[in-house]
A and B are shown apart, each in its own frame.
Chain A
Amino acid sequence: AQKVTQAQTEISVVEKEDVTLDCVYETRDTTYYLFWYKQPPSGELVFLIRRNSFDEQNEISGRYSWNFQKSTSSFNFTITASQVVDSAVYFCALSVGSNDYKLSFGAGTTVTVRA
């Protein structure tokens, strides 16, 4: 069975602070995919990134960066110099072939950026 744990329920920061969201996953599959999605107050889930289990390179996209570490089964997400528009719920998710690539979501972390 697959499991995704986002231990942080809520994080509140002041604009321009950095924010790191933790994600720990569990799976017995050797091939799997990890995702981060953003859900702003409007409700739509916005795809941010996909990583497969064979690619441990960290990635940076603008103010967003991701740290994938198989040794600790973690896929953490950092927002640098946060802005009010970053306020949203962020979900980490996992999919594996043995489960038809269905997404197993974490509980989500609500990020509030105050001006």
Chain B
Amino acid sequence: GAVVSQHPSRVICKSGTSVKIECRSLDFQATTMFWYRQFPKQSLMLMATSNEGSKATYEQGVEKDKFLINHASLTLSTLTVTSAHPEDSSFYICSARAGGPPTQYFGPGTRLLVL
């Protein structure tokens, strides 16, 4: 149980294009989903928290117009990196949490490379 999928697993795009990453909870309803960014050999940095049907809450320093988050259903959240630039290249990981115990289950991550 508690499986979270993420798609795509890897994406290479040209500078200036937008990239959408999907995060799905496969066997449970996720009242809350989280988006993280991880640089090589570093810990996870929380970017934003999204609750189904409401606007995402962004952490300080994260540009909400740059990283668009949509949580349209209890099993799907999307992160769109708009007008991507090389500095946006990173490993993006989502997690999902059902109501009740605050355990977050993580997706396999998406490696984004912007050329």
User: Which residues in A have some Cβ–Cβ distance to B below 8 Å?
Assistant: 33, 35, 37, 42-47, 50, 91, 95, 100-103, 105-108
A101 surroundings in chain B (CB, below 8 A): 97, 102
Q: Does B105 touch A at the CB level, under 8 Å?
A: yes
Whole-angstrom distance between the Cβ of A58 and the nearest chain B Cβ:
19
SS class of chain A's interface: helix, strand, loop or mixed?
loop
Of all chain B residues, the one with the shortest Cβ separation from A52 is B101
Q: Are A50 and B44 in contact (CB under 8 A)?
A: no
How many residues of chain B are within 8 Å of chain A by beta carbon?
21
Looking at the complex, which of B15-23, B63-71, B75-83, B106-114 is the stretch in contact with chain A?
Answer: B106-114
Which single member of A44, A103, A107 contacts B46 (CB below 8 Å)?
A: A103
Q: Are A44 and B108 in contact (CB under 8 A)?
A: yes
Whole-angstrom distance between the Cβ of A14 and the nearest chain B Cβ:
23
B2 surroundings in chain A (CB, below 8 A): 47
Q: How far is the CA of A68 from the CA of B9 in the complex (A)?
A: 35
Q: How far is the CA of A105 from the CA of B18 in the complex (A)?
A: 29
Whole-angstrom distance between the Cβ of B8 and the nearest chain A Cβ:
13
Q: Does B104 touch A at the CB level, under 8 Å?
A: yes
Whole-angstrom distance between the Cβ of B60 and the nearest chain A Cβ:
13
A47 surroundings in chain B (CB, below 8 A): 2, 103-106
